[in-house]
């Protein structure tokens, strides 16, 4: 699976948009980009995933660059409860393999 | 959405005893379940993959005789830590996938194990 690179930490003011970047320059054409987050002492929570088109759901938006070498997860109005470690993961479509977690980005939403 | 539960949420046991952790998919059938382990300030590490009705596949370095995994039904997988030792103290998280065409993995809330 393609390797991803994320900043280790970010801060965001409450109520503002949180933009979390992820580089995946070696991504293959059939690999999806998944985002999960893990709030302290809880299991990871699925947020969103996409292949090449931008995606939006009730939690977040996912913006994937045209060359698919990077993506950005956007939390439009961050709250204190969004403080968590955010993981960007790429995995091939149809793969039976598990998700492999890197070190992620610790997002801290400040009051 | 798909919900995965784990029981117990935390357990304290004496060294040498065995501990069983249950993982259930509550509103979907999980053909594949995964068990992860997470030590403090570290990321999740996959321990094993189990498919319903077949033997689990363990990652390198994970002792299959120590971490017994049973996936007897499409909604239940169990992890038994046998002869637990203090170094087995960790946060154990299970995950389930809904099917081959829906690849999203959903995670349980985790079980914190403390071995004294």
- B112 interfaces chain A, CB cutoff of 8 Å: yes
Query: Which residues sit opposite A22 in a β-bridge?
Result: A71
pLDDT tens digits along A7-37: 999 999 999 999 999 999 999 888 899 999 9
Contact between A31 and A2 (Cβ < 8 Å): yes
pLDDT tens digits along B22-65: 999 998 888 889 999 999 989 999 999 988 888 899 999 999 99
Q: How far is CA A18 from CA A6, A105, B52, B66, in A?
A: 14, 12, 39, 42
Euclidean distance between CA atoms A60 and A34, whole angstroms: 12
Euclidean distance between CA atoms A89 and A106, whole angstroms: 15
Beta-carbon separation of A94 and B32 below 8 A: no
Chain A closest CA to B16's CA: distance in Å?
A: 25
- B65 interfaces chain A, CB cutoff of 8 Å: no
How far from the centroid of its chain's Cα atoms is residue A107's Cα? 11
């Amino acid at each position: 699976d393609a390797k991803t690179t994320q900043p280790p930490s970010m801060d965001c003011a409450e109520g503002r948009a949180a933009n979390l970047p992820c580089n995946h320059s070696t991504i293959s054409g059939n690999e999806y980009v998944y985002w999960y987050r893990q709030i302290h002492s809880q299991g990871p929570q699925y947020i969103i995933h996409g292949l090449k088109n931008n995606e939006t759901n009730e939690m977040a938006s996912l913006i994937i660059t045209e060359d698919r070498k990077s993506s950005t997860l956007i939390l439009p109005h961050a709250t204190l409860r969004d403080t968590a470690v955010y993981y960007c993961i790429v995995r091939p479509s149809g793969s039976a393999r598990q998700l492999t977690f890197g070190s992620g980005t610790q997002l801290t939403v400040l009051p | 959405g798909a919900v995965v539960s784990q029981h117990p949420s935390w357990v304290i046991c004496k060294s040498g005893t065995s501990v069983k952790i249950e993982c259930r998919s509550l509103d979907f059938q999980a053909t594949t379940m995964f068990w992860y382990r997470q030590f403090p300030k570290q990321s999740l590490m996959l321990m094993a993959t189990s498919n319903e009705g077949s033997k689990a596949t363990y990652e390198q370095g994970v002792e299959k005789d120590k971490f017994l995994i049973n996936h007897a039904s499409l909604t239940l997988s169990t992890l038994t830590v046998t002869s637990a030792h203090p170094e087995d103290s960790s946060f154990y998280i299970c995950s389930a996938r809904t099917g081959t065409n829906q690849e999203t993995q959903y995670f349980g809330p985790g079980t914190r194990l403390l071995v004294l």
